[in-house]
Amino acid sequence: MRVLAAALVGIVLWDSSRLDLALALLLGGPDGFPLRNAWYLTTGLHTGGLIASWAVVSALCVGVWFPRGPLARLDAAQRLLLAITPMLAVLTVSSLKTISTTSCPWDLTVFGGVARLVSHWTLAGGGDGGPGRCFPAGHASAGFMFIGGYFVFREHDPRIARVWLLSALIAGLVLGGGQQLRGAHFMSHTLWTGWICGCVGWTVEVAAALLRRAATTPNPMAVRREATSAID
């Protein structure tokens, strides 16, 4: 939780720095983004990244019943969490995108579009005049959605947990970075997506821990009845 809190502070500082636009201006201009339709970003990183990501999710789902490798160190409930958490993370990010009034960088007037630059936290005034639905970064969630696996593994194998977390962070940053090169997102969009996916993973683990504790804690009424029967 402390790491998530520290990350939140860092993202808020970045968000308020206006470095998003400065970075985007290095990649595009009034004529748009030169790499918007580059095949290695659209077909290779975008489409290929999605296919690879969901292939991993499919493998995790199969691993619930047929565990192999590191999955064999987890019980069935933990393997189920490992498979479900990525889907919950993606669903959360996708849901937020559907209500977002923030448009993509390539939709801004400074890059040849129609939208004006406003904070993605601006909820009043009808948005930025563009199509919206571009915050947080959906494609980056295809990598960041696996962050939750860190919370599943950390008590059983800290080494695997760290490798899992690092892999998810790298995947999310690479996929998000590819979209930034195309003009589809700002850096802050990617950073917020990573933080949201981390929060989803942490929340699922906390909820699972509470359920396990409730299941193993004796019912006071049942204990009292058993004690009464024993006395009788």
Find out whether 111 and 29 touch, Cβ atoms under 8 Å.
Answer: yes
Distances (CA, A) of 91 to 22, 59, 112, 206: 30, 19, 31, 19
Q: Tell me the HSE value of 78 on the side-chain side, using a 13 A CA sphere.
A: 17
Distances (CA, A) of 124 to 81, 101, 157, 169: 38, 9, 47, 33
- Per-residue pLDDT 10s for the chain (232 aa) are 789 999 999 999 999 998 999 999 999 999 999 999 999 999 999 999 999 999 999 999 999 999 999 999 899 999 999 999 999 999 999 999 999 999 999 999 999 999 999 888 876 566 888 999 999 999 999 999 999 999 999 988 999 999 999 999 999 999 999 999 999 999 999 999 999 999 999 999 999 988 888 877 765 555 455 445 434 4
The whole-angstrom separation of Cα 196 and Cα 138 is 11
Q: Tell me the HSE value of 4 on the side-chain side, using a 13 A CA sphere.
A: 16
The whole-angstrom separation of Cα 100 and Cα 59 is 32
Q: Which residues of 62-221 form beta strands (DSSP E)?
A: none
181: nearest Cα among 88, 5, 46:
46
Q: Tell me the HSE value of 93 on the side-chain side, using a 13 A CA sphere.
A: 31
* Cβ partners under 8 Å of residue 84, min gap 6: 204
Per-residue pLDDT tens digits for 116-135:
998 888 765 668 889 999 99
The whole-angstrom separation of Cα 202 and Cα 217 is 22
